[in-house]
Amino acid sequence: MTHSTALRVAVLADRLFLYQSMACSDATPEMMGLPQYPDHPIPDYETFCEDFTEEALAGSDAFRQFIVTADDRDIGAICYTVRERVAELDIWIASRKDWGRGHGRRALTQLIAWLEERIPVDAMIMRPSARNERAIAVYGKAGFEIFDTERHQLPTWCLDGGEDYFDPVVMVRPAGPSGRNEGQWHVSRDRNNVWGSAVTLTGRADSLG
């Protein structure tokens, strides 16, 4: 069975979905909150909105939020933040029923391609908790490697631990054509048009992502 995965640019009307998918789903305990992540507490909606303001969701070269869709359903979110020519990516798939179908890997691949065409970056990073072995495996399938001081060079902010976890695993993916291994992309700002004039990626489901 194949599963389609696509992205669309998030807008202010998506903010409640973004919060509920992150903080109120059956997948939430796998990335934040007690008992496994006391260092990364679940925010209340008011606190969430302080970060995800109307201005932030308008998007820019420095930050942009996308909704991950599958078979015409909103299933999660993915975003990037750019600093010193390094893009940090973050992703969550909201429900366990959508795990193991390759959506996470394909969403990452699409966003990577979008970034490489639009934003001048030298590398991309992700910083999951070492406790989240499943996420580390999915990011590896998307071409990210665990940071190695002998093989990778990154600005110091990438290695400072981040804001979420006390045990971040810095994973690195060089920017460039070598990483473009799936499909093509276009983006739509039309909330009712998933990828607008886009091609939606399909493929055989992976065991993770």
pLDDT of residue 198: 32
Give domain status of residue 199, yes or no: no
What would the pLDDT profile of 96-139 be if each residue is shown by its tens digit?
999 999 999 999 999 999 999 999 999 999 999 999 999 999 99
Give residue 36's region: left, alpha or beta (phi > 0; psi -120 to 50).
Answer: alpha
Using pLDDT thresholds of 50, 70 and 90, give the confidence band for residue 3.
low
Using pLDDT thresholds of 50, 70 and 90, give the confidence band for residue 75.
very high
Residue 133 phi, psi (nearest 5): -65, -30
pLDDT of residue 197: 26
pLDDT of residue 179: 44
Give domain status of residue 159, yes or no: yes
Q: What CATH number does the domain containing 93 carry?
A: 3.40.630.30
Give domain status of residue 193, yes or no: no
Using pLDDT thresholds of 50, 70 and 90, give the confidence band for residue 2.
low
Do the Cβ atoms of 186 and 199 come closer than 8 Å?
yes
Give domain status of residue 67, yes or no: yes
Give domain status of residue 69, yes or no: yes
Give domain status of residue 196, yes or no: no
C-alpha span between 115 and 60 (Å, rounded): 12
At residue 26, does pLDDT exceed 70? Answer: yes
- Residue range 51-72: average pLDDT? 95
Give domain status of residue 37, yes or no: yes
Give domain status of residue 32, yes or no: yes
**Segments forming the whole domain that contains residue 57:** 2-185
Do the Cβ atoms of 128 and 135 come closer than 8 Å?
yes
Using pLDDT thresholds of 50, 70 and 90, give the confidence band for residue 193.
very low
Residues in CB range of 200: below 8 A, 6 or more apart: 4, 5, 6, 194
- Residue range 60-84: average pLDDT? 96
pLDDT of residue 184: 35
What would the pLDDT profile of 137-186 be if each residue is shown by its tens digit?
999 999 999 999 999 999 999 998 777 899 999 999 998 764 444 333 33
pLDDT of residue 188: 35
Count of positions (residues) in the chain: 209
The count of structural domains within the chain is: 1
